[in-house]
Amino acid sequence: MLLLLLLTSAFPLVPWAGAGRIIGGSEVKPHSWPYMAHLSIQNKSNHFTCGGFLIRSDAVLSAAHCVAGKKNVTVTVTLGAHNVEKREPSQQKLRVRHWVIHPKYSKDTSENDIMLLKLEPKAKQTNEVSYISMSSQNERVKPGTKCNVAGWGRTSITGSGSSVLMEVDLEVQSDEVCEDLFKDYLNESMICLGDKKLRKAAFQGDSGGPLVCNGKAHGIVSYGPQNSIFPEVFTRVSYFVPWIREELRKFALQDLPDPPSSD
């Protein structure tokens, strides 16, 4: 699999390669995804990017595989961006000092592919920056539901990343579709999506970005198959609501993890 950032039971997509792309999508109307976050993750020798999304003025959700296992990295979140290669007046760029990777995240199975980043200072809410509600605990989107995903990832399998934010719609598939293909697919904590006609997908570089169904964040771009673009697996946000709430409570108490060491 490709971590779509990419991971599959067999082959996590390596985010350093610039994983994640939206295939078959179109450029978003600028700032129509005001909760969208661009993550830049780098150390002295490597740089890669992921997506994420603002769920509170001081918290961004993303995928664990974007940061897990990387050494000496600094993480910078940019909010309010449309073209990430430009300095737009709407942009808020924040260096992240604290993040929490789910303690049961597994690189091998992509289980619990979720990470919460604390913003300090908080994001300023503007016309271009605001947060999105998460799905409620245990709420499940039915197969056939149309959802949207956005990212600055690659726009073709061989192409490069996109400077402007792209979006694509994908349909929720039954769990069986992913269970048949991915031996580590878990119906409780993952959502199966895709476009059966193989025209549309999230791709490398899109990892960590939000899957929005009926106006709420239901998923996080996680992984896909190595040699195809269908189907794809998203972290199921509703399953993690209790974990997210607990971590947000710790944020409020300043009960924070030690700052990750930077070189």
Q: Which residues are catalytic?
A: 65, 113, 207
43 binds ligand NAG (CB under 6 A): yes
Ranges within 160-179 binding ligand NAG (CB under 6 A): 175
- Given the complex with ligand NAG, which of 69 and 159 has the nearer CB atom? 69
- Distance spanning both ends of the chain, measured CA to CA: 31
Binding-site string for ligand NAG from residue 109 to residue 138, where x marks contact by CB under 6 A and - marks none = ------------------------------
134's CB contacts (< 8 A; 6+ apart) are 55, 61, 216, 217, 237, 238, 241, 244
Q: What angle do CA 234, 217, 69 make, to 5 degrees?
A: 45
- Given the complex with ligand NAG, which of 90 and 187 has the nearer CB atom? 187
Ranges within 50-69 binding ligand NAG (CB under 6 A): none
What CA–CA distance (Å, rounded) separates 65 from 223?
10
Out of 11, 28, 70, 174, the only residue in the binding site for ligand NAG (CB under 6 A) is 70
Query: Under rule CB under 6 A, how many of the chain's residues touch ligand NAG?
Result: 9
What CA–CA distance (Å, rounded) separates 103 from 173?
28
Out of 45, 158, 254, 261, the only residue in the binding site for ligand NAG (CB under 6 A) is 45
71 binds ligand NAG (CB under 6 A): yes
7's CB contacts (< 8 A; 6+ apart) are 1, 13, 65, 107, 110, 113, 222, 223
245 binds ligand NAG (CB under 6 A): no
Contacts with ligand NAG, residue ranges (CB under 6 A): 43-46, 70-72, 175, 187
